Structure 1
Amino acid sequence: MPELISAPQFFLGLISGTSADGIDAALVRFEGDAANAGAELVFGHTCRWEPALRERLIALGQHAQPLTLDEVGTLDVRIGRAFAEAASHAMRAAGVTARALVAIGSHGQTLRHHPHGNVPFTLQLGDAHCIAEHCGVPVVADFRRRDVAAGGHGAPLVPAFHAAILRDPGEDRAILNLGGIANFTLLPAQGEVRGFDTGPANGLMDAWCLRHTGQAFDAGGAFAAQGRVDGALLARLLAEPWFAAPPPKSTGRDQFHLDWVEAALAGDEAPADVQATLLALTARSVAEALQATQPRTRRVVVCGGGVHNPRLMAALAEAMPDAAIDSSAVHGLDPDFVEAMAFAWLAREHLAGRPGNLPAVTGASGPRVLGALYPP
């Protein structure tokens, strides 16, 4: 595949993360023909899921319910159509035609992520044929499975984008994404880029908040603010062996779900205390992971939905007192669309024939060109 020309190029990135709170669409302008060309967010928008479909996705993630083949096929198309609508909405709102886009990079919706065992796999739904047919734009999708086939976790994939955009030779940095799951990209001033999941972030807090307040998420951390951290419960949660496992590692809602929380409860905890404890769990697991892997970090750049929870940001600052805690907005990247921008970038890398994974991050046996191309 020839190198991309130096004129500005427009790509659209699509992702629905572990929280399944919406489909993020990011229209990204790339300048230049180098692998590390600058990326500018031209337009970003989140399309909410149709409520019944989101409810089903959450239920499947929380309880590992069995699925018939018919339901898998139906979900694949329904999710693909929803992604296509999100892309079309972004194109209309930004005033961009199909001819102006080089490609759409679609992550899809993760249904299962099991990169361990004798038959490791990861499964993202969202039929890319539907997106290509509806939008009239080439689509690059199915990014994770090639890395898994090469012995990796297929996650996290965003660190390569972080390294291209946010690395600073003057300081050790860490990029912290607070989605449903929290994950780090470690960007040392000198040395190898690393990245890994640290454990739950918004996913558990959202699910607990929905169950006990009827609200889809804890706006501003108000529900957690009503409670206090239960030290004994926090210790039981942190005793989960997964936290002590060394990188590379990844996880998802199928591991950290409400049944996992309930198994650690004594039974008499106030709901607000559990919420406060889940927030503390995120802050502690993040801080301990950073201390174990890059203790001289001087700046943590935070993106993802958790950046809007001031109580969580304060807890992170308290847990990591030696590092400055910044929103990615300070560095010119909208925290709500960094991941969607990354999948626009990964589509660009695919078309250029460049690897999109970092073996030191995912554990793959080598660099691989990620994704498959679906023509319009």
Structure 2
Amino acid sequence: MTTHSAPYKPMLTTIGLMSGTSLDGVDAAILVTDGVQVERHGPSLTQPYPPATRTMLRSLLDKAARLDAQDPQVLAASHAVTQCHAQAVAALCAQAGGLLPDLIGFHGQTILHQPGRTWQIGDATALSAQTNTPVVHDFRSADVQAGGEGAPLAPLYHAALLQGQKRPVAVLNIGGVANLTYLDPSGTVLACDTGPGNALLDDWTYQHTGQTYDKDGALALSGTMNKAVLAQLMDHPFFTQSLPKSLDRLSFHKGLEHVSSLSAADGAATLAAFTAQAVASTQLPHPPEAWFVCGGGRHNPAIMAALRRCLSGTIQPVEVLGWDGDALEAECFGFLAARSLRGLPLSLPGTTGVKTPTTGGRLSCANLVPQRLLPCAALMVQATNQPPG
């Protein structure tokens, strides 16, 4: 008699954490996954950074290239980031009825991203101790060490969610930096950062209004885009580089000098158009038939209108697919944490430019009792002894 082993479905209840380059706070989301399939999406929330923490982080971006990990400013910021993440986990667990997750995926706060170097701050061991949960962190370093850009890392999660979707199709994430995932009918996955997302518009809005972002696109919608200034902004060597490619939040910061002669409203309108034009300039094998937009930028009507002017195909927020566009990146790091435990790739040649599919992430467990490690240990043992499904 022939016997068959049980289907390989070791699912973990994960909490993914993401604090993006917009510096607005920590997104936390529950995801039940084995790193290949998604069984269930859970609740999510955003834990805003206190104003003092946001100010500290924004100041750190301007000097991070000159600092090291033991600099007092970096240590203070890392502690503040870790505490905000621990608070987000506690709040989400309480919201989920006292949930104790199996695993946390902790991206940390990016303070520098350059070719050959990527730097995220946050203390994974302290987070593990405070949450009594194993933590996977340091997702990008292995890719960079293997010759990749270290970003973007969301494409494999997007691809998992887009199963069955008509192709070619793209997911566009507009955070501080904008990035896209492209899938074509052959199964090819391509990705890259496209250019500025909300970062320039956020900084411009703060300079002129004291508000941290252009709420509802009100400032941009009240102005008129300046074509000459937009052309100057687009005259940047990044746009002639081939895929894949990635950016730091400040890569286009000097572009604010081009906009400085404009009124607050016209400058905002021009920067919103710049975000969209940068996406449109990306050289893809075929124009996507559909674009699904996530990240904070999808809440800005000026950016969404500019995208519809620049791109062919339909432009819709990811909610039309039943996804939560505010939780998507956080969910991604729960997904990638499970992949990391299984030794599965987090990046591909077409997503970061790494030479071969590359795994990554490191596991921190503080001083957890063995029972808290069992679900993760079982996943790793089964991944070693069975095909990944």
Flag whether TM exceeds 0.5 (same fold).
yes
Query: Equivalent residues in 2 for 1:164-313 (5 A)?
Result: 164-168=160-164, 170-257=166-253, 260-265=254-259, 268-289=261-282, 292-313=283-304
Percent of matched pairs sharing the same residue: 39
Q: Is the 8 A contact 2:234 2:274 kept in 1?
A: yes
State the Cα RMSD in Å.
1.9
Q: How many residues align?
A: 359
Question: Is 2:26 aligned against 1:23?
Answer: yes
Q: Is the 8 A contact 1:36 1:165 kept in 2?
A: no
Q: 1:29: Cα distance to partner?
A: 2.0
Q: Is the 8 A contact 2:200 2:256 kept in 1?
A: no
Alpha-carbon distance in structure 2 between the residues aligned to 1:5 and 1:318: 46
Q: 1:104: Cα distance to partner?
A: 0.1
Alpha-carbon distance in structure 2 between the residues aligned to 1:296 and 1:209: 32
Partner of 1:113: 113
- 1:365–1:109 CA distance, 2 compared to 1 (3 A): same
Partner of 2:90: 88
Q: Is the 8 A contact 1:104 1:140 kept in 2?
A: yes
Alpha-carbon distance in structure 2 between the residues aligned to 1:52 and 1:143: 27
Q: 1:191: Cα distance to partner?
A: 3.6
Q: Is the 8 A contact 1:180 1:202 kept in 2?
A: yes
Q: 5+ unaligned residues in a row in structure 2: which ranges? A: 1-5, 369-389
User: Which residue identity is paired with 1:110?
Assistant: T
Partner of 1:368: 358
User: Which residue identity is paired with 1:274?
Assistant: G
Partner of 2:99: 97
Q: Is the 8 A contact 2:118 2:141 kept in 1?
A: yes
Offset from partner CA, 1:165-212 (integer Å, 9 cap, x none): 114463210110011111010011214100000000111111111110
Alpha-carbon distance in structure 2 between the residues aligned to 1:344 and 1:286: 27
Alpha-carbon distance in structure 2 between the residues aligned to 1:347 and 1:143: 8
Partner of 1:325: 315
User: Which residue identity is paired with 1:318?
Assistant: R
Q: 1:276: Cα distance to partner?
A: 0.4
User: Which residue identity is paired with 1:328?
Assistant: V
Q: Is the 8 A contact 1:64 1:254 kept in 2?
A: no
Query: Equivalent residues in 2 for 1:333-344 (5 A)?
Result: 333-344=323-334
Alpha-carbon distance in structure 2 between the residues aligned to 1:223 and 1:197: 25
Q: 1:219: Cα distance to partner?
A: 1.0
Alpha-carbon distance in structure 2 between the residues aligned to 1:253 and 1:172: 28
Alpha-carbon distance in structure 2 between the residues aligned to 1:108 and 1:247: 25
Q: Is the 8 A contact 1:155 1:362 kept in 2?
A: yes
Partner of 1:78: 80
- 1:296–1:177 CA distance, 2 compared to 1 (3 A): same
Q: Is the 8 A contact 1:173 1:188 kept in 2?
A: yes
Q: Is the 8 A contact 2:134 2:363 kept in 1?
A: yes
Offset from partner CA, 1:317-367 (integer Å, 9 cap, x none): 1111x3011211111210001100000000010112212112221111222
Alpha-carbon distance in structure 2 between the residues aligned to 1:184 and 1:39: 24
Alpha-carbon distance in structure 2 between the residues aligned to 1:247 and 1:153: 11
